[in-house]
């Protein structure tokens, strides 16, 4: 990772399974695999999404078995997705194909509706093209039976056809909204979208493609928000976790500054409510301009239920600050526009700390075993130069060239005798090193509807109130701004590096009671191996000139 050269992560091969699947507190999965058993195990896990800023709770099914003839075990983790049941219906092929051919309809191209890898002539086909050829019978090879399965998944295709027919009326609804200019006169809503359980998507633009604020949304560049081989879109997953009938709002995080905090995404799950089974069949949503969303919020906050319509207290008052935050604590609306997208704890650390203490929010500690940390490396360390004679040689050349340039520029003896100052200035070099980090994520408590609190500061009390917005994942927070709590530091989401020396020591103490299983047999030699052809290190001898050269260069380079 330095100067374009990758380095192997230290102690990468010694990572214990309990550090990867760290939700398995009782080591059920770990012990079963160490003991070479075959079976299945289910566990609730936490997965980070949206550039690591948010966390989703899901259930994984683990399948494991031993590999015969080896000391290894193999495990596979599969997510259950969002719901256990499918909703199926019968439609004709003609109806389904008619709606599939709509230009705003697309399918998850990384899903295997049809196996297009069986024949070279099929590999250039999209999944939608393969389905059409399969249903019309134009491609006999897709109808053939290979071993125990067909080239196309008949049940999944039937479900796709049903979704295409059932979701077709929403296109007419979106078209009527686009034609009715009074509904979206300022073009605040830019995109409407729908995704079904079978990977079918419908997209409608209310503005021209060149006018979109977020150009990457729902495109191949935005991997998190499209149907992928290993996950549903982020707006689908977050909506499926909410209470049925509620909307989830969020500001998408991006590494590109051009699209940062300029749009708001809102989505809700479409769920078939039943006393026995409640499958999530689809999710629908919109993406709007952030400025449009904030304007709607400020307008609504000034409307009160009193007879004269006036509010006893308003966000316009100079003594209070109003915020709109989501269930992960990120600010969507603030009186200071620059705070949009920030974590609430960074702006109001005292209030966030109180919310954590009261249980309105909870902190979840997550781990990153593939992180990169910045370190200050001493490139002129004397001990370091002894490790490699080339380092000492180049250090001496560098010193000679530095002294020559300084002598020609300044032409005085002072810099000659105090040249160590120039060497010290180049000792610290900042580099990126592989490391392990831990970082927090925050989730609100669903049962909290409204909470008030007072915070004891140095010479005053800071009061606040937080209230949940009905049918959403949003909270309105009103904070007294006349009392400053500078003694309470802000709460950040910055990762903390896990130092290897201390970390390995604590891991050894923690893993002392963990089960270890030695291989059943040792392989100290191989009958075809000739020990005399290997080794020969004892025959090597160091040449005195090559031993003294690095030491002399090191002495003169000081």
- Residue % of the chain over a pLDDT of 90: 18
Q: For tokens 């309470």, what's the residue?
A: 488
pLDDT at residue 299 in the model: 87
pLDDT at residue 552 in the model: 63
Cα 464 from Cα 320, distance rounded (Å): 9
Fold of the 304-371+436-497 domain: Beta-Lactamase (3.30.450)
Better-predicted residue by pLDDT, 175 or 388: 175
Q: What is the largest CA-CA distance in the chain?
A: 100
Q: For tokens 């109130």, what's the residue?
A: 465
Report whether pLDDT(422) > 50. no
pLDDT at residue 343 in the model: 92
pLDDT at residue 201 in the model: 92
Give the single-character DSSP code of 422: H
pLDDT at residue 442 in the model: 92
pLDDT at residue 207 in the model: 87
Residue 472's DSSP bridge partners are 247
Q: Tens digits of per-residue pLDDT, 135-179? A: 887 655 555 444 334 478 888 888 999 999 999 999 888 888 877
Q: Tens digits of per-residue pLDDT, 61-105? A: 899 999 988 888 999 888 776 666 677 788 888 888 888 888 888
Q: 279: pLDDT confidence band, cut at 50, 70 and 90?
A: confident
Average pLDDT over residues 23-35: 87
> Comparing C-alpha atoms, which of 429, 425, 473 is closest to residue 448?
473
Report whether pLDDT(39) > 90. yes
Cα 220 from Cα 172, distance rounded (Å): 26
CB–CB of 478/348 below 8 Å? no
Expressed in percent and rounded to 5, the helix, strand and coil fractions of the chain are 30, 25, 40
Report whether pLDDT(19) > 90. no
Lowest mean pLDDT among 151-165, 302-316, 437-451, 526-540: 526-540
Residue 134 CB: number of other CB atoms within 10 A? 22
Report whether pLDDT(22) > 50. yes
**pTM (two decimals):** 0.73
Better-predicted residue by pLDDT, 382 or 483: 483
CB–CB of 496/363 below 8 Å? no
Rg of the chain (C-alpha set):
31
Q: 449: pLDDT confidence band, cut at 50, 70 and 90?
A: confident
Cα 205 from Cα 223, distance rounded (Å): 19
pLDDT at residue 14 in the model: 63
Better-predicted residue by pLDDT, 439 or 426: 439
pLDDT at residue 408 in the model: 65
Q: For tokens 């683990």, what's the residue?
A: 62
pLDDT at residue 3 in the model: 42
CB–CB of 35/517 below 8 Å? yes
CB–CB of 499/386 below 8 Å? no
Domain locations along the chain: 17-79, 93-138+147-290, 304-371+436-497
> Comparing C-alpha atoms, which of 437, 452, 401 is closest to residue 422?
401
pLDDT at residue 66 in the model: 92
Sign of CA dihedral 173, 175, 181, 185: positive
């Amino acid at each position: 990772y330095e100067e374009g050269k990758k380095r192997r992560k230290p102690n990468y091969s010694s990572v214990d399974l309990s550090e990867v699947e760290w939700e398995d507190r009782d080591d059920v999965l770990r012990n079963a695999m160490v003991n070479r058993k075959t079976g299945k195990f289910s566990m609730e896990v936490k997965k980070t999404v949206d550039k690591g800023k948010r966390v989703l709770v899901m259930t994984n099914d683990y399948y494991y078995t031993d590999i015969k003839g080896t000391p290894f075990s193999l495990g596979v983790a599969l997510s259950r997705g969002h719901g256990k049941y499918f909703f199926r219906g019968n439609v004709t092929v003609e109806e389904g194909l008619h709606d599939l051919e709509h230009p705003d309809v697309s399918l998850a191209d990384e899903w295997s509706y049809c196996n297009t890898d069986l024949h070279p002539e099929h590999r250039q086909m999209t999944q939608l093209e393969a389905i059409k050829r399969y249903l019309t019978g134009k491609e006999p090879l897709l109808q053939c039976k290979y071993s125990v399965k067909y080239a196309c998944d008949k049940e999944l295709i039937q479900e796709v056809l049903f979704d295409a027919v059932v979701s077709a009326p929403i296109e007419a609804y979106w078209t009527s909204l686009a034609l009715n200019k009074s509904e979206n006169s300022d073009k605040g809503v830019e995109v409407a979208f729908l995704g079904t359980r079978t990977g079918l998507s419908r997209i409608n633009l209310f503005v021209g493609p060149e006018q979109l604020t977020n150009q990457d949304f729902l495109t191949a560049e935005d991997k998190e928000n499209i149907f992928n081989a290993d996950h549903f879109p982020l707006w689908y997953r977050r909506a499926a976790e909410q209470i049925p009938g509620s909307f989830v709002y969020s500001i998408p995080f991006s590494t590109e500054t051009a699209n940062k905090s300029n749009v708001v995404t809102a989505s809700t799950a479409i769920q078939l409510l039943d006393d026995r089974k409640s499958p999530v069949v689809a999710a629908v949503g919109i993406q709007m301009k952030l400025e449009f969303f904030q304007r709607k919020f400020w307008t609504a906050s000034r409307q009160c239920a009193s007879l004269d319509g006036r509010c006893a207290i308003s966000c316009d008052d100079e003594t209070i600050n109003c915020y709109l935050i989501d269930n992960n604590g990120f600010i969507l609306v603030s009186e200071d526009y620059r705070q949009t997208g920030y974590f609430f704890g960074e702006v109001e650390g005292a209030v966030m700390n109180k919310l954590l203490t009261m249980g309105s929010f909870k902190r979840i500690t997550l781990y990153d075993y593939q992180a990169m940390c910045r370190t200050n490396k001493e490139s002129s360390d004397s001990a370091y130069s002894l490790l490699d004679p080339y380092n000492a040689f180049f250090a001496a050349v560098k010193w000679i060239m530095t002294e020559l340039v300084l002598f020609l520029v300044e032409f005085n003896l002072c810099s000659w005798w105090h040249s160590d100052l120039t060497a010290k200035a180049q000792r610290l070099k900042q580099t990126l090193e592989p490391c392990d980090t831990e970082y927090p994520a925050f989730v609100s408590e669903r049962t909290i509807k409204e909470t008030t609190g007072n915070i004891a500061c140095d010479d005053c009390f800071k009061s606040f109130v937080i209230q949940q917005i009905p049918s959403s994942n949003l909270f309105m927070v009103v904070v007294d701004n006349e009392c400053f709590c500078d003694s309470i530091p802000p709460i950040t989401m910055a990762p903390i590096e896990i130092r290897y020396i201390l970390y390995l020591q604590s891991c050894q103490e923690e893993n002392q009671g963990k089960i270890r299983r030695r291989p059943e047999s040792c392989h100290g030699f191989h009958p075809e191996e000739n020990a005399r052809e290997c080794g020969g290190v004892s025959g090597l001898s160091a040449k005195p000139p090559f031993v003294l050269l690095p030491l002399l260069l090191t002495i003169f380079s000081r």
